[in-house]
């Protein structure tokens, strides 16, 4: 460290204009982008919450004083499934919103530190401009050099934060694609199940016609019993399936310490 020349002041001014101010604008742009993502997540959360309230209202209207019949139960099930799906989406959006908020708060803190550096550097420039010789003492020069080193360290930290933010966006995109695929696969399964349900009863109608108009040598009581069993078969297998599904899901969730959701 030695005596400084008359170029010290232009050096400080150029460093502020070419380095400090552009980086401050870059941080502001990142913060604005994060705020936009946070607001978008909040709008989605509000939408799904409102949808859940409307679905719950529909379910409430389907209840009667007597025990629910099969048609009402079948109508309630897809509504309850949609509510559960919305709740999972709300949880994911809330977690992502909290993560983005943390990144934004860190950037705001870094922005405040950089503004302090600018505020501390500007008086030095003004003092040098007011000086007729444009010279500074060794003490001021050493202080400025430490300020530059401190700022470069902050820039390095900001670069690491930016890399983490980019990685988080990539992970969120992967999660959104996975969630969309699971929802799409679930909807496809529901459609296939409905088609098979229709096909079963079409064949049942055909079988009834064969039993009454073609297979006349069979006992009428035997035919009635056979038809009754075939009619109630889907409801019996549905009840058995529900019991096995609930028991299996509860056991799996208990073993893996997960929260158990009843989809029925």
Number of domains, the chain: 1
- The pLDDT tens digits for 9-59 are 555 555 566 666 676 777 778 888 888 888 888 888 888 888 888 877 877
Residue 77 belongs to some domain of the structure: yes
- In the predicted structure, residue 149 carries a pLDDT above the cut 70: yes
Q: Please give the Cα distance from 128 to 136 (Å, whole number).
A: 7
Give the pLDDT score at 80. 73
Residue 207 belongs to some domain of the structure: no
Give the pLDDT score at 96. 84
Query: Percent of the chain at pLDDT above 70?
Result: 62
Summarize the confidence of residues 110-119 as an average pLDDT: 73
Residue 263 belongs to some domain of the structure: no
Structure tokens at 58: 């529909």
Residue 90 belongs to some domain of the structure: yes
- Residue 232 sits at φ, ψ, to 5 deg, of -85, -5
Give the pLDDT score at 28. 78
Summarize the confidence of residues 117-130 as an average pLDDT: 65
CB 78 within 8 A of CB 190: yes
CB 31 within 8 A of CB 108: yes
CB 23 within 8 A of CB 114: yes
Structural domain that includes position 126 = 8-178
Give the pLDDT score at 126. 63
Residue 245 belongs to some domain of the structure: no
- In the predicted structure, residue 139 carries a pLDDT above the cut 60: no
- In the predicted structure, residue 203 carries a pLDDT above the cut 60: yes
Q: Please give the Cα distance from 262 to 60 (Å, whole number).
A: 18
CA atoms within 13 Å, Cβ hemisphere of 203: 7
Give the pLDDT score at 181. 55
How many beta carbons lie within 10 A of that of residue 192, not counting itself? 10
User: What DSSP assignment string belongs to the chain?
Assistant: -----TTHHHHHHHHIIIIIHHHHHHHHHHHHHHHHHHHHHHHHHHHHHHHHHHHHHHHHHH--SSPP-HHHHHHHHHHHHHHHHHHHHHHHHHHHHHHHHHHHHHHHHHHHHHHHHHHHHHHHHHHHHHSSS----HHHHHHHHHHHHHHHHHHHHHHHHHHHHHHHHHHHHHHHHHHHHHHHHHHHHHHHHHHHHHHHHHHHHHHHHHHHHT-TTS-HHHHHHHHHHHHHHHHHHHHHHHHHHHHHHHHHHHHHT-------
Q: Please give the Cα distance from 96 to 139 (Å, whole number).
A: 48
Give the pLDDT score at 17. 61
- In the predicted structure, residue 259 carries a pLDDT above the cut 50: no
Residue 78's pLDDT band, with cuts at 50, 70 and 90, is confident
- Per mean pLDDT, which range of 82-96, 141-155, 214-228 is the poorest? 141-155
Summarize the confidence of residues 249-264 as an average pLDDT: 63
- In the predicted structure, residue 260 carries a pLDDT above the cut 50: no
Residue 260 belongs to some domain of the structure: no
Residue 161 belongs to some domain of the structure: yes
CB 87 within 8 A of CB 52: yes
Residue 192 belongs to some domain of the structure: no
Residue 254's pLDDT band, with cuts at 50, 70 and 90, is confident
- The pLDDT tens digits for 160-201 are 777 776 666 555 555 555 555 556 666 777 788 788 888 988
Place of tokens 């297979």: 215
Mean pLDDT score of the chain, rounded to an integer? 72
């Amino acid at each position: 460290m030695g005596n400084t020349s008359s170029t010290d002041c232009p050096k400080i001014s150029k460093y502020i204009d070419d380095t400090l101010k552009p980086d401050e604008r870059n941080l502001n742009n990142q913060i604005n982008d994060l705020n936009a993502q946070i607001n978008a997540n909040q709008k989605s959360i509000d939408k799904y919450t409102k949808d859940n309230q409307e679905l719950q209202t529909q379910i409430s209207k389907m209840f009667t004083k007597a025990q629910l019949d099969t048609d009402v139960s079948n109508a309630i099930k897809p509504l309850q499934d949609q509510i559960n799906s919305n709740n999972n989406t709300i949880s994911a959006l809330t977690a992502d919103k909290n993560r983005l908020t943390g990144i934004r708060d860190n950037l705001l803190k870094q922005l405040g530190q950089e503004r302090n550096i600018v505020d501390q550097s500007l008086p030095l420039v003004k003092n040098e401009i007011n000086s007729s010789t444009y010279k500074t003492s060794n003490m001021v020069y050493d202080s400025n050099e430490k300020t530059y080193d401190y700022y470069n360290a902050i820039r390095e930290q900001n670069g690491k934060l930016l890399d983490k933010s980019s990685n988080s966006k990539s992970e969120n995109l992967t999660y959104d694609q996975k969630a969309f695929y699971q929802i799409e696969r679930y909807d496809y399964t529901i459609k296939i199940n409905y088609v098979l349900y229709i096909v079963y009863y079409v064949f049942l109608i055909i079988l009834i016609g064969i039993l009454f108009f073609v297979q006349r040598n069979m006992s009428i009581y035997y035919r009635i019993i056979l038809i009754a069993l075939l009619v109630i078969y889907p409801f019996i297998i549905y009840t058995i399936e529900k019991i096995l599904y609930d028991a299996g899901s509860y056991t799996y969730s208990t073993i893996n310490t997960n929260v158990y959701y009843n989809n029925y």
